[in-house]
Structure 1
């Protein structure tokens, strides 16, 4: 189930593009973009748009990627936490399990997350 919850759907991918832009966070290129989980799937990060940032293939997989560069990983997490709150990486089941929403509806999830966002 966790791997399914970490999967980035086309809808979440498109929403991340709309919110974050179609360019590499590191170098700004618009070519060879890949969706990157800001909080890694291995650390519980979900496939929600608030947990997605785009990186070019070089910066997603190379030696300067957040997977290899702890400073960049922390910078991305700090940015997303500032923008979307400490639960930026979560899905509705995480919030429900933590007692933050009364049920697992999309409406309750979005209501909570919008309340966490910094305008």
Structure 2
């Protein structure tokens, strides 16, 4: 059993990018939360700020994981553990350069077609940017 990333209690799988937002079935899109931190008042299903904070953290994680500018399809599949159908969808919707697939396209795809921006002047401000 996995444990809540907030309190350490037994937790359930939470999709950071919800399926309704284009989230994919990949371990990169999962965190584990106990019932209180998952569906409670401060959880991502009830609190938009918490939801956006988890999304921004996932985006930062993807940016560190995908640190090179280009990746081959095999590298993307290995790192992301995308299903065959999602990998085909990625390859169909993204341009293959002679060097490989571009890092920003990979992150954008794994983030469900959104990029999130944090305004450091106002630490509570997060914005979703749909490209």
Tell me which interval the TM-score lies in, with the shorter structure as reference length.
Answer: 0.5 to 0.7
**Which of 28, 34, 55 does residue 56 from structure 1 map onto?**
34
1:71 and 2:49 aligned = yes
How many Å separate the matches in 2 of 1:101 and 1:66? 35
Deviation track 1:60-98 (CA, whole Å, cap 9, x = no partner) reads 122221011111111111111111149x8x742442232
User: Which blocks of at least 5 consecutive residues in structure 2 are unaligned?
Assistant: 67-79, 108-131
Q: Which residue of 2 aligns with 1:23?
A: 3
Count of residues in Structure 1 that have an aligned counterpart in Structure 2: 84
User: Which blocks of at least 5 consecutive residues in structure 1 are unaligned?
Assistant: 1-16, 103-107
- Name which one, 1 or 2, has greater alpha-carbon Rg: 2
RMSD: 3.4
Q: Which residue of 1 aligns with 2:92?
A: 97
TM-score, length-normalised on structure 2?
A: 0.51
Structure having the higher strand fraction is: 2
Q: Residue 100 of structure 1: CA displacement? A: 4.8
Structure having the higher helix fraction is: 1
